[in-house]
Structure 1
Amino acid sequence: MMRIQHLVLTALLASLGVLGCRPGTVLPAVTGPEARKADAVRYFTNPIAEGADPWVLKKDSIYFSCGSANKGIYVSQSTRLTQLGERVPVWKAPATGWNAHNIWAPEIHFLEGKWYIYYTAGKEPGGPFIHQRSGVLESTTDSPFGPYRDKGMLYTGDHLADPTTVKWAIDLSPFYLNGQLYAVWSGWEENAGTDRTKQHLYLAKMSNPWTISSNRVKISSPTQPWETGGELDLNEGPELLKKREKAFVIYSTRESWLKEYRLGQLTLADTLADPMQPQNWVKSSGPVFEGTAQVLGVGHCSFTTSPDNTEDWILYHAKKTAAPGWDRDIRMQKFTWTADGYPVFGTPIPAGVPLPVPSGQK
């Protein structure tokens, strides 16, 4: 019986061309559908999706993403960060009102046991985009797919007692720091009749996920040479990133429709410091993530971890061409940290380059 098995094995190896190979011979790589399937499990390439302003939240080993399309907001879920899942519409803008048009940059959050979506909208379609304000939706069930009720416009001005003094605001994002809920966003000093108005970053306290409970404070303005010099000076798309004792606000600067769009960084060196004191935020000396000749206009990011929580990942959008406009796609890559706790985002990796999937992804 053993002799028969030996003969069968010998014949099989001979048919594969393995017998007779000299020591050190490199055998041909296995190719075909199975090999390609195996590579698809181990590697991915950018871009991972169409769209812009990517937002991903990881909860209970599930990645929930959010975006806007067709005058509404969609949510998707997936166990794979590289495949964000089917986009399911969860909310449609009303026919009239402050939030009837220009739905921008939604984010889904799980706060105080409920699902919330923060978004930007305006009362008039198209430009000039002078009516943009920020609002919040609350799921009426325990599902991220809703249905959602509109909790209204968030106050983003300087006179809390007078809601009519709300100011232009986009890209609002909530976060907790030392048990206090805050909102950070991009806004104007005063409402204006042109959307070519300088944008700043503002911060305010929240008493619950749908109520801003303090006047805003300005924590950043586009003042550095790498933030200015184009068609419009702006800071926008702020997102909080925390690591041990430090907190960072990573934001977009330069013009979103141009290839010079890039990321800057504000650092709160000690999370026990009061974030409502602008002097506690230190701006980076230059962009912390910017485009190359192959990857254009990188910006408006979000952050998450690999399935096994051993890696940090940034998701961002990039322009498809150098021509001015908002034709963009969504990309992602792993980032690291310095020994003293600062993020290192590196250089955006060109489309089509195989990258290992996040650690623990199946």
Structure 2
Amino acid sequence: MRFPGSANDLARGFARAVAWSVAITAMVGCALPAAAADEPDAATFANPLLSSGPDPWILQVGGYYYYTHTLGDRIALWRTDYVAKLGEVAPLTVWTPPKEGANAHSIWAPELHRIDGKWFLYYSATASGFTDDDHRAVFVLENTGPDPMRGKWIDRGRVNTAHAGIDGTVFDHGGKRYFVYSPYIGPDSAIAIAEMESPWTLKGEEVVIARPDRPWERQGGRQIVEGPEFLAGPKGDLFLTYSASACWSDDYSLGLLRASAGADPLDAAAWRKSAQPVFKRGNGVYATGHNGFFRSPDGLENWIIYHANPGRDMGCTAKRAPHIQRFGWTDAGWPEFGEPVPTAKRLPVPSGGRAR
């Protein structure tokens, strides 16, 4: 570049040269891969992950996080290798219900599971023409392909539970597979467990292991315990979290059931309930409930996902949004969830960054 001869011109020319150099550097920076340019921001995230997402669920398999939540009229999956970027992912509808039949309406609380090399979606639904609890049940879809975002989802029908109910989940323990859900028994919504013969068929006795017998399980005008989720303890204990009270209550919260190491999960007496909620509203976050669990990509951290409202009296609507936060364990081997992290507070992403 040629500079003018005078001192002022030289100064102006030098300034232009510096500006041009900065511009070139900026353009080169823009040309860098997004992950490198955004690394400082990418290392943190803030809740909620999405603006809406009742009954959220995350499963990490094969280098991806698979996410889903209640949409009411269909089931969709989100897939990402970086959970903090979930909001940038477009969902894919993988199943829509029939117009009529036992599973036609109120498609709630889907959960994606990988069982014996196949994909299964458990979800709650209501029969067409009805809105009452007596016509709600848990149903199963199966996909035998390697990719849950592709292939055919086969309707395996209703899980043969003893009662109408919602919020089915599964877990393996001691070489057996168990199904846990929330049956409607009289005025109550309870927690029951049974052994599984196949991913859509129960066998043997179905055992009720919890009922809403505490004041904090009766907020909002209904007696409810629902949304059970399994968590294996580091000392061999079995834990089931569950959501307590009506979902439209600000005091919707998480309770905890524990069975000691070596106990029979089908023995109702083996399960002991926490005296108080183990996770409840706080820090401007309300109606904390319907959770799931996942691990960080490097396997070193435990994380909980749950839905919550950002304010009081928002009810049981699509305003409920998915939050995630890390949790730890006490010396006795109990999960310690702490308090809800305030909305918009920056948190470190799960350790290991991207799913592996």
TM over 0.5: yes
Q: Which residue of 1 aligns with 2:213?
A: 223
What SS does structure 2 have at the residue aligned with 1:340? coil
Aligned AA for 1:80? Y
Distance in 1 between residues matched to 2:176 and 2:144, nearest whole Å: 24
Aligned AA for 1:315? I
- Output the aligned Cα RMSD: 2.2
Q: Does 1:344 align with 2:340?
A: no
Aligned AA for 1:189? I
What SS does structure 1 have at the residue aligned with 2:100? coil
Q: Which residue of 2 aligns with 1:279?
A: 269
Q: Does 1:134 align with 2:151?
A: no
Distance in 1 between residues matched to 2:144 and 2:73, nearest whole Å: 21
Choose which of 137, 143, 157 in structure 2 pairs with 1:152.
157
Cα offsets for 1:123-157 (capped at 9, x unmatched): 13673444111110000422212320100101110
Q: Which residue of 2 aligns with 1:42?
A: 43
- Kept in 1, the 8 Å contact 2:284–2:311? The answer is no
Q: Does 1:328 align with 2:320?
A: yes
Q: Which residue of 2 aligns with 1:361?
A: 353
CA 288–106 in structure 1, closer or farther in 2 if over 3 Å, else same:
same
Q: Which residue of 2 aligns with 1:248?
A: 239
Q: Which residue of 2 aligns with 1:122?
A: 126
Once the two structures are superposed, the pairs formed by residues 154-193 of structure 1 within 5 Å of their partners are: 154-157=159-162, 167-189=163-185
Distance in 2 between residues matched to 1:340 and 1:60, nearest whole Å: 32
CA 36–351 in structure 1, closer or farther in 2 if over 3 Å, else same:
farther
- Kept in 2, the 8 Å contact 1:156–1:215? The answer is no
Q: Give unmatched runs, 5+ long, in structure 2.
A: 1-13, 19-28
Cα offsets for 1:66-90 (capped at 9, x unmatched): 2342611011211112233331111
Q: Does 1:96 align with 2:100?
A: yes
Q: Which residue of 2 aligns with 1:295?
A: 285
Structure with the larger helix share: 2
Distance in 2 between residues matched to 1:316 and 1:79, nearest whole Å: 20
Distance in 2 between residues matched to 1:70 and 1:247, nearest whole Å: 31
Cα offsets for 1:4-23 (capped at 9, x unmatched): xxxxxxx9xxx9xxxxxxxx
Q: Which residue of 1 aligns with 2:67?
A: 65
Q: By how many angstroms is 1:169 displaced? A: 1.0
Aligned AA for 1:349? V
Distance in 2 between residues matched to 1:67 and 1:94, nearest whole Å: 19
TM-score, length basis structure 2: 0.84
Distance in 1 between residues matched to 2:71 and 2:184, nearest whole Å: 25
Distance in 2 between residues matched to 1:314 and 1:179, nearest whole Å: 25
Q: Give unmatched runs, 5+ long, in structure 1.
A: 1-10, 16-31, 158-166, 191-196
TM-score, length basis structure 1: 0.83
Distance in 2 between residues matched to 1:260 and 1:126, nearest whole Å: 28
Aligned AA for 1:63? Y
Aligned AA for 2:114? F
- Number of equivalences: 318
- Kept in 2, the 8 Å contact 1:246–1:269? The answer is yes
Cα offsets for 1:302-345 (capped at 9, x unmatched): 00011111111000000233223322111000001111211000
Distance in 2 between residues matched to 1:70 and 1:188, nearest whole Å: 20
Q: By how many angstroms is 1:216 displaced? A: 1.2
Distance in 2 between residues matched to 1:294 and 1:125, nearest whole Å: 39
Q: By how many angstroms is 1:229 displaced? A: 4.7
Q: Which residue of 2 aligns with 1:162?
A: none
Cα offsets for 1:267-316 (capped at 9, x unmatched): 0111x211111110011111000002500000000000111111110000
Distance in 1 between residues matched to 2:238 and 2:72, nearest whole Å: 35
CA 70–262 in structure 1, closer or farther in 2 if over 3 Å, else same:
closer
Relative to structure 2, which stretch is displaced further, 55-64 or 97-106?
55-64
CA 333–143 in structure 1, closer or farther in 2 if over 3 Å, else same:
same
